[in-house]
Amino acid sequence: MTKFSDLNLNAKVLKAIAEAGYETPTPIQAGAIPPALEGRDVLGIAQTGTGKTASFTLPMITMLARGRARARMPRSLVLCPTRELAAQVAENFDTYAKHVKLTKALLIGGVSFKEQDTAIDKGVDVLIATPGRLLDHFERGKLILNDVKIMVVDEADRMLDMGFIPDIERIFGLTPFTRQTLFFSATMAPEIERITNTFLSNPARIEVARQATTGENITQGVVMFKGSRKDREATEKRKLLRALIDGEGDKCSNAIIFCNRKMDVDVVAKSLKKYGYDAAPIHGDLDQSQRTRTLDGFRAGDLRFLVASDVAARGLDVPAVSHVFNFDVPSHAEDYVHRIGRTGRAGRDGKAIMICVPRDEKNLADVERLVEREIPRMDNPLGADNAAEAAPAAADDTAEKPKKTRTRSRKPKQDATKPQADAPSDTDKAKADDAAKPDSARKDTSGDKKPQEKSSRSSSRSQSGKGSDNRVVGLGDHTPDFIGLSFQDRE
């Protein structure tokens, strides 16, 4: 088995690796470090969690240990799709370069230009940046890329998803043709293939897992879920999420919960908090300081549930995430690979549970096609009739406000044959009507209801009818006169 000491790394780097507690290189490290140290271009096809960050930082530190950077002319460039990933790469440099004198700067959005300008002005060996911010600095004339000797593109497939490919192509064009390129992607989409064919020169191709495969040490499952009614689906889905979390018990030490939409990230985080779960959201619309604080809290183990969007969580390295919950089936199948790659890192076991509503079944089929396996169906912990048991929407104030149900207004109709406690009965009505009548008319409220009703309802009319002394037997004295008259007339 390859050892770090077999890899020709700088002794000071080896010391830092030993202090980090790493004993053997991971496959991507064993595969990428030797050609990188030889100065070759590298195409690393590896998902996050495989140790790919060290596979480029370790040789870079070794190669940059000699030499000095000039003002505004960085000697190396690492491009990352998100601020968090860039910050993480910067941390990796801090860890592995702690015994080597190297300067670095982090150029990410949401942080003031001034501080970044100062760092660049001093001269940096390693510049870690998101593409947009790097180009902003370049356009302001603060940065010269002519001295870049090593350029790294990390998570290229995410760059593609985020529309950064034109920026990447432009940055390639701004760096010297003779630079060394280390290029990493979890998947090789045709567009990525095109970029690598254009900008990499005879790269050493290291593929540590089959394209778009998911880690074998991750137990996966999907719960098929249908809300009892459309307007209750969201509430019931959050209830299901809580049940799934509870079902994992203590095994779920911490988790990242992915939602497809930023809005849901906020709603799910708020709802979980309301139910007593230690949760916080992270997505691109939150300000950088809040994102950093949340992430630091999660890494430190102070926060148990991180509710995240794909972009914000991309490439996050939190070594001990026990679970990933996919609140939604991702709409881009590759995101599934990235999402569940947050758990089961560095050889640990992980669990990834997903909720699939009927309209996401097509996305689920895409995911299964991509990962070339069927994701096992799990039982719904709420049981088959979860919908019926679902908590009233009012219990979750992040939910849509409970609407007045039609069922309720329909109920009297359905139960029209039954007497209603709070509605007056016909007999009561007759009694009340009767009470309003003069004493002479208040007779015989018992007996057959219909004649009574008829008589009470029509008593006022009887006054306007023609008077008659003829009594109709069996209809009572108060029978309206016209009824009697009609009988008389016929006869």
Interface with ligand AMP (CB under 6 A)? 22, 25-26, 29, 48-54, 317, 319, 345-346
Strand locations in 80-168, DSSP E?
104-107, 126-129, 150-153
Shortest separation between residue 272's beta carbon and ligand AMP, angstroms: 26
Shortest separation between residue 171's beta carbon and ligand AMP, angstroms: 22
**Do residues 195 and 165 make contact, with C-beta atoms less than 8 angstroms apart?**
yes
Residue 351, strand partner residues: 219, 323
Distance in angstroms between the alpha carbons of the first and the last residue of the chain:
120
Shortest separation between residue 37's beta carbon and ligand AMP, angstroms: 16
**What counts of helices (H) and strands (E) characterise the chain?**
20, 13
Look up residue 392 and give its amino acid: P
**Do residues 83 and 312 make contact, with C-beta atoms less than 8 angstroms apart?**
no
Q: Residues for the chain: how many in total?
A: 491
User: In the complex with ligand AMP, which residue's Cβ is closer, 46 or 151?
Assistant: 46
User: In the complex with ligand AMP, which residue's Cβ is closer, 27 or 123?
Assistant: 27
User: In the complex with ligand AMP, which residue's Cβ is closer, 26 or 456?
Assistant: 26
User: In the complex with ligand AMP, which residue's Cβ is closer, 30 or 399?
Assistant: 30
Q: Residue 336, class by beta-carbon neighbours within 10 Å (0-12 exposed, 13-18 middle, 19+ buried)?
A: buried
Report how far Cα 395 is from the mean position of its chain's Cα atoms.
Answer: 22
Shortest separation between residue 142's beta carbon and ligand AMP, angstroms: 30
Report which of 6, 47, 28 is spatially closest to residue 185, judged by C-alpha positions: 47
User: In the complex with ligand AMP, which residue's Cβ is closer, 232 or 338?
Assistant: 338
Shortest separation between residue 205's beta carbon and ligand AMP, angstroms: 18
User: In the complex with ligand AMP, which residue's Cβ is closer, 48 or 363?
Assistant: 48
How many Å apart are CA 46 and CA 150, to the nearest integer? 19
Report how far Cα 245 is from the mean position of its chain's Cα atoms.
Answer: 15
User: In the complex with ligand AMP, which residue's Cβ is closer, 143 or 313?
Assistant: 313
SS (H, E, C) 377-437: ECCCCCCCCHHHHCCCHHHCCCCCCCCCCHHHHHHHHHCCCCCCCCCCCHHHHHHHHHHCC
User: In the complex with ligand AMP, which residue's Cβ is closer, 49 or 81?
Assistant: 49
Shortest separation between residue 24's beta carbon and ligand AMP, angstroms: 6
Q: DSSP string spanning 150-172?
A: EEEE-SHHHHHHTT-HHHHHHHH
User: In the complex with ligand AMP, which residue's Cβ is closer, 156 or 399?
Assistant: 156
How many Å apart are CA 279 and CA 271, to the nearest integer? 9
